[in-house]
Amino acid sequence: MSENQNAAQGQNTAQAQNDPMQQQAARVPESQQPQAARKTGRKKKEKVKKTVGQEILSWVLTLLAAVVIALLIRSFVFEPVRVDGHSMDDTLADGEIMFVTKFDYSSTWLCFPWQSAEDKEAAARITFGGDPKRFDVVICRYPGRGDTNFVKRVVGLPGDTIRLSGGYLYIKEKGSDEEVKYEEVYINDEYRTGNRNEFGPETIPEGKYFVMGDHRNNSNDSRYTGPIDRNMIVGHVRQVVFPFSKWRAVPNGLDVKAE
């Protein structure tokens, strides 16, 4: 490039720097720029407002989902159940809240609260899991009582022959000729007296279970209602969770121990 050309370019640069009109044009505020130019690359996403109907529908669906989840948990996982009465003294006290599991064995009745006892018992049932063990504490139902829950202890399994004598339980298991006496250390000796503690022998049909309350003198159980079907057992009592001062595990199975 020649010296003349360099000089010309230098002169033009100096003129541009000294021209106030050009400097002002270069510093035009954004607010004075054309609107289309300001919006370029700065588009903001506007939040679409829901209508009142959409808001109501959203709340209804949320509540419905919560109800369905709660029902599934109560039917197939666990639920709290309140003790009503004294038939399980001294193991369980009236008014205590029990933690009842469903995942190990249960039976879910597909009925509605407003149905009659007859309709509830005629409803379909989903029975799942294993089978109760001897001396498990369970939540069960009785024929003719709809979906009313009772808390009892399983003492007889299908095929057993059982009897009560002097307040003590004697069992001859299925296929055995030997009769075994069970001490049942959870039974208060005061509850072993009276006519109710003389019963049997009775052989339990296949598919049925014999249940009794721990307060043998104050319990409406299989001695009067007869053995119950497997699908009448709806939960397994594991713990007392309320009152908090009474929080404890409930002795179950053959490993029951005195408190």
> Do 132 and 153 form a contact (C-beta atoms < 8 A)?
no
- Other Cβ atoms less than 10 A from the Cβ of 201: the count is 14
The one catalytic residue in 102, 120, 152, 208 is 152
3-state secondary structure 174-217: CCCCCEEEECCCCCCHHHHCCHHHCEEEEECCCCEEEEECCCCC
Which backbone phi and psi does 231 adopt, to 5 degrees? -80, 5
- The residue whose two tokens read 């309320």 is 242
Identity of residue 180: V
d(CA 212, CA 231): 17
Structure-token pair, residue 195: 């006519």
- CA-nearest of 153, 149, 228 to 187 is 153
- Other Cβ atoms less than 10 A from the Cβ of 255: the count is 8
- CA-nearest of 79, 69, 200, 53 to 151 is 79
- The residue whose two tokens read 């001897």 is 134
Structure-token pair, residue 123: 């409803």
- CA-nearest of 120, 99, 103, 100 to 111 is 120
Q: Is 50 annotated in the active site?
A: no
DSSP assigned state of 109: E
Q: Is 31 annotated in the active site?
A: no
Catalytic (active-site) positions: 87, 152
